[in-house]
Amino acid sequence: MNSISVIITAGGIGKRMGGTVPKQFLVIGSKPILIHTLETIHNYLPHAEILLTLPLEWEDYWKGLLNENNCRVEHRIINGGEERYHSVRNAVRESQGDYIFIHDGVRPFVSVDTIQRCLLGVIRLKAVIPVVPIKESLRKISDDSSAAVDRSSYRLVQTPQCFSRDIITKAYELPYHLGITDDASLVEETGCEVHLVDGNEENIKITSPTDLLMAEVLINKK
């Protein structure tokens, strides 16, 4: 049976959220966001290896949160690097799975259906990402003008982004540059095609105070 490693990225400091505590440690529904995410991934993929990237200076704080919340989900902490690229590269090198799922630590509302679609997709296609349609109208900005674009031609990208081990390992052998927007964009630089599966609308990335308010609504509903 093919094995799975899930890399949960939690190396950010949350500048858009404000405050002194990184956004992944903020509380929604009585628990820190990152613990919600960790438990969700474990519940949906109970046999997966879980690796968590964290800034070195926040590791003791995280261990304290685990004890306070009686969280016993087994996982390994990987020291976060200078950029997300370096953190994920470190985790990929430490992982053991045949398939690697890379998930944002501040996306606690990924659904079991999304995980299942990602799992079936990556086994068949080797590189898949979950996406959702765009509901709002879009305009492209050019100098001092703008023009409407067809929103049906675009999708919003979510995580987990999922790859076979050989594909993601090859991608993270490429050098870092500022144009890397996510794991899929790096994989595409190797010439590999990235395939799309349906995500779920609730799978928001909590990066701003408005997102935090939405997360409170979702956690209460859940």
Helix axes 33-44, 59-68, angle to 10 degrees: 70
Q: Would you give the DSSP letter of residue 19?
A: S
Low-confidence ranges of the chain (pLDDT < 70): 1, 12-19
* Domain locations along the chain: 4-221
Write down the mean pLDDT value for the chain: 94
For the stretch 40-90, pLDDT in tens is 999 999 999 999 999 999 999 999 999 999 999 999 999 988 899 999 999
| Structure tokens given for 36 | 């919600």
Distance of alpha carbon 206 from alpha carbon 139, whole angstroms: 24
CATH class held by domain 4-221: alpha beta
| Structure tokens given for 177 | 């540059």
Write down the pLDDT at residue 13.
Answer: 60
Look up the pTM and report it. 0.95
Write down the pLDDT at residue 112.
Answer: 98
Write down the pLDDT at residue 40.
Answer: 98
Write down the pLDDT at residue 192.
Answer: 97
Q: Would you give the DSSP letter of residue 64?
A: H
User: How far apart, in Å, do the first and last CA atoms of the chain sit?
Assistant: 32
Query: Amino acid letter at 22?
Result: P
Distance of alpha carbon 172 from alpha carbon 185, whole angstroms: 11
